[in-house]
Amino acid sequence: MKIGIIGGTGGMGKGFALRWCKNHEILIGSRDTQRASDAANEYLQTAKQAFGNINGTISGTDNDSVATQSDVLILSIPYENIDSVCSGLLGKIKDSCTVISPIVPMTKTDIGFEFIPLKENKPFSHQMVQKHMKNKNKLVSAFHVISEKKLVDPTFTLDYDIFVCGDDKESIDVVNSMIGEISGLRPIFLGSGALAYLAEISTPLLLNAMIKNKMKNPGIKIL
């Protein structure tokens, strides 16, 4: 399966690439093709050092090429860049492509991390991405509460639950399977995409708990 990562040169993009490259073709996307290629080469060397031989690949190219080739497309981008990035890209994806949004609309203020849709009466991320989708049901929200520092260490075993929201069973099954491929992660379905704000708001909740209680890279697990 071809897994494209828009914003793949960032920390989360690196983590996703390392975790899925053992069995999939990973496409690192960036506005700068050379930067994407350099990052992909770095990730590939890290993966080989961690796992030895891998069955997949990691390569880098421009965002447009990644969007058109991917079977699954992950939007590892900031909330404020959704319209500028998605307006040009999501019209180019394959009709069968599942799009994953791990995007969190939050801001740091004097009182802590706050959820922008509540603070500023703006749309949540799933709503903003969905308006640019050709097939709006192919959008799935997931991976909001995963620790970047732990994700980028391919030898670290994670122990988190991942909230999943979406409207298309086939796409949800694809995302659940990808979550299951990362040791220690478990998908927890919350409901339709209309409820994705529940998954998104869990990130500022978790960060505030971490800071106020001096925790180190906590996650969420439902017992």
Q: Is 163 helix (H, G, I), strand (E, B) or coil?
A: strand
pLDDT per residue over 86-107, tens digit each?
998 999 999 999 999 999 999 9
Domain boundaries, the chain: 2-212
Please give the DSSP secondary-structure letter assigned to residue 89. H
User: Which residues are bridge partners to 57 per DSSP?
Assistant: 25
Q: What per-residue confidence (pLDDT) applies to 156?
A: 85
Q: What per-residue confidence (pLDDT) applies to 157?
A: 86
Q: What per-residue confidence (pLDDT) applies to 45?
A: 95
* CA 9/CA 76 separation, integer angstroms: 9
Q: What per-residue confidence (pLDDT) applies to 154?
A: 87
Q: Is the pTM of this model over 0.85?
A: yes
Domain 2-212, what architecture? 3-Layer(aba) Sandwich (3.40)
Q: What per-residue confidence (pLDDT) applies to 140?
A: 98
Contact 63, 85 (CB under 8 A): yes
The tokens for 151 are 């994700």
Q: What per-residue confidence (pLDDT) applies to 148?
A: 87
Q: What per-residue confidence (pLDDT) applies to 218?
A: 85
In the predicted model, residues of the chain with pLDDT beneath 70 are none
Give the residue among 64, 23, 56 at the shortest CA–CA distance from 40.
56
* CA 133/CA 138 separation, integer angstroms: 8
